A and B are shown apart, each in its own frame.
Chain A
Amino acid sequence: MKSKKKSPTRILKAVLVNAELIITSLIVLIPVIWIVMSSFHKGTGLTGSSLIPKHLTLQNYVRLFQETDYMIWFRNSLSIAVLNAVVSVILILITAWVVSRFQFKGRKSGLMAMLILSMFPSFLSMTAIYTLFITFGLNKSPLSLVLVYSAGAIPYNVWLVKGYLDGVPTSLDEAAYIDGSSKINTFLKIIIPMAKPIIVYCAVAQFMAPWMDYILPNLLFTGTNTKTIAVGLYAMITGNENSYFTTFAAGAVLIAIPITILYLLFQKYLVEGIAAGANKG
């Protein structure tokens, strides 16, 4: 009883569904193709840019490296991102481990305090951070942003990782303690391997976050050598649509490609991390 014969409604459905998917894909792709093509477009301005330029050139990329400080911005952003990922993960993981595995006075109120702190949008305290940075001379190197980023990441992420560790049975670490393993050793040998997925999430999220943060670096660092990618690109395009648009496109494409690839590679971890964050364990 093979009724593989396609009924008209079935065909109509298939056509409609596929048509919708194709249209949505096009809407998603067109801005992407447009900016990639613009980066190869001959000319400097926004006017005359099109989806399919007549002449392709690498001139914009050359200009990006010769006329702007793109390399400096990139180096600054990269070093902030790497350092932030390392520092944040260490601090978050240790804190989460202690609150998850040890009972001590002030633990509950500390966790509650962190929960409330994590609900305060971090950049609203920028005036204080600005004054603090100037008072302590931290506005010389963009790396000091890591202090703000990693501290800001602690409240939310400690809850996240704590929730994860709470779900991991304690029998393994207890067995290790019975065998005479020290606390630190147990942490390194047992907790870290078990928490790998959530560590990957935190590391990737903390690596990604600084790249496109505009507000703090723009406020704190005014020198040319201390600009980050986000600040540099924003300044390049704002008000200069007709003299720097294609150079901006080249810069945007260059930075978007590696980050997009990283995102796609770590998709699984990021999705899990976001879901866990919403449910907090």
Chain B
Amino acid sequence: MNINMTKRKASVLISAFLWGGGQFFIGKQRVKGLLLFCIEIILLSIEGFSGYWLDYFAGNIRNFRIGIYGGFFTRGIWGLTTLGDKAGARYGDHSTMLMIEGIISVMVLALFLLIYIWNLRDAYFTGKEIDTKGVYTTSKEYLKHTLSKSFPYIILTPVIILVAFMVLMPILFSFLTAFTNYNKNHLPPASLIDWVGFSNFVKLFKVPIWSGTFFSVLLWTVIWSLLTTFTTYFFGMFQAVLLNSKHVKAKSLYRSIMILPWAIPQMISLLVFKNLLNGQFGPLGQFLIDIGVTNKRIPFLTDPFLAKVTVVLVNLWMGFPMFMIMIQGILSNIDKSLYEAAQIDGGGDLQVFKKITLPLVFQATGPLLVMNLAGNFNGFGSIYFLTEGGPVNPNYQLAGDTDILISWIYKLTLNNQIYDMAAVMCIILFLLVGSVSFWNFKRSSAFKEV
């Protein structure tokens, strides 16, 4: 019994240093053991040959610095932790590059770590099987079994790599940026970036100009997303109900006209409206003067309050058709006998609508409404292409009166290069929108079926 105990222990112990060693020597699974060992060799070669370790061990390098002579992984981790230590545009360290390389090397290392842990677990179970059953599974049997089981992993590998590089890595990067001082005063390659902990978060809530702007913009963002969602939803519903009315003859004609704003590319519509409502030369302003409504140009997009009204109305123009189509579809699916029964019971039009139509429509469009709310919260285009967030508010930190969080973040990043504060806001935005969407999703049927 004592000897048997050592089988699994020994197996794990060997595999801890020589990957697959336990499987190879104790479990007699030659191929699997060799495969795992190859992975260890690959890991070591990446590190060994991408740096100057060989020269270092040969004693050829006197002033050894990991940042220069280290391999892929050690240099990556060094870069990520220090973000470089030598300033200077030509020969200095490039902090953002170091950060990206660092994230990539940590991601690759994490993958190897997973394989390593799996290797230990497998060594343990291989030993245990011999301990308890005394049977040796040959690696041929094992591989045959595994190959069909690993089909999902093999086929998903390209997708995982693509998502890791193009989605996950950038998100990690912007997440980490929130904890650095990456802004126009610290722009690589000329200068270095440093880790600053939570001081950007403190700044956002403690420095008046930042917190003042943040809460004002956040408030407007919430108002904006509620207003846009509810105006488009209820106006869309209203149109759908009218189109469904028995008094309307040319249903399909009206429908084909009203569907247009949904089909026309949004950016085109927005740029058209921007010109239509132009405060200096816009034809709408001219028209209102011509018919005598007003005697001077109306600042549709440049007056703080009027601009807010304008963006909501233009958004209504673009947004109501989608809900109209959706709700029309639902209305046409409602059982006609429900209405007939209600009419026999003496229900008026309004009552029937309130008691029968509305609950059914709400039930069917609830999730869509929440998704739309989250979408409008990040409705960058509707704001940026119309007003660019303007008019500029002098009391705000680089924001205008119509700016919502996402357009403010965009301006902080692109126009002002305040990447660190923008990243802090990204995280907050992500938490806000993410929790609402997640709550919405958790209630859906798809969640339970995972």
Contacts and interface: CB of A to CB of B under 8 A. Distances in A.
A5 interface: no
Nearest to A248: B271
B173 A128 contact: yes
B429 interface: yes
B94 to A, nearest CB: 9
A17 B242 contact: yes
A218 B258 CA distance: 32
A21 B450 contact: no
A277 B447 CA distance: 13
A259 B265 contact: yes
Contacts of A119: 374, 430, 433-434, 437-438
A13 B156 contact: no
Contacts of A123: 380, 410
B261 interface: yes
Interface string A79-114: 000000000000100110011001010011001101
B170 A125 contact: yes
A233 interface: yes
Contacts of B248: 17-18, 21
Interface in B387-409: 406, 409
B162 interface: yes
A267 B325 contact: yes
A175 B382 CA distance: 50
Given A117-B167, A279-B446, A212 B438 contact: no
Interface in B296-313: none
Interface in A101-156: 102, 104, 107-108, 111-112, 114-117, 119-129, 131-132, 135, 147-148, 150-152, 154-155
Contacts, number: 239
B281 A242 contact: yes
Interface string A220-243: 000000000010011001000110
Contacts of B378: 121
A50 interface: yes
A24 B337 CA distance: 31
A174 interface: no
B438 to A, nearest CB: 7
A230 B384 CA distance: 14
A244 to B, nearest CB: 11
Contacts of B252: none
Interface residues of B, number: 90
A227 to B, nearest CB: 14
A36 to B, nearest CB: 10
Contacts of B329: 271
Contacts of A150: 162
Interface stretch (B22-30, B61-69, B147-155, B338-346): B147-155
A176 to B, nearest CB: 16
Contacts of B380: 123, 215
B371 A117 contact: no
Interface of B: 96-97, 100, 149-153, 155-156, 158-159, 162-163, 165-171, 173-174, 177, 239, 242-243, 245, 247-248, 254, 256-269, 271-276, 278, 280-283, 317, 322, 325-326, 329, 367-368, 370-371, 374, 378, 380-381, 385, 406, 409-410, 413-414, 419, 426, 429-430, 433-434, 437-438, 441, 444-447, 449-450
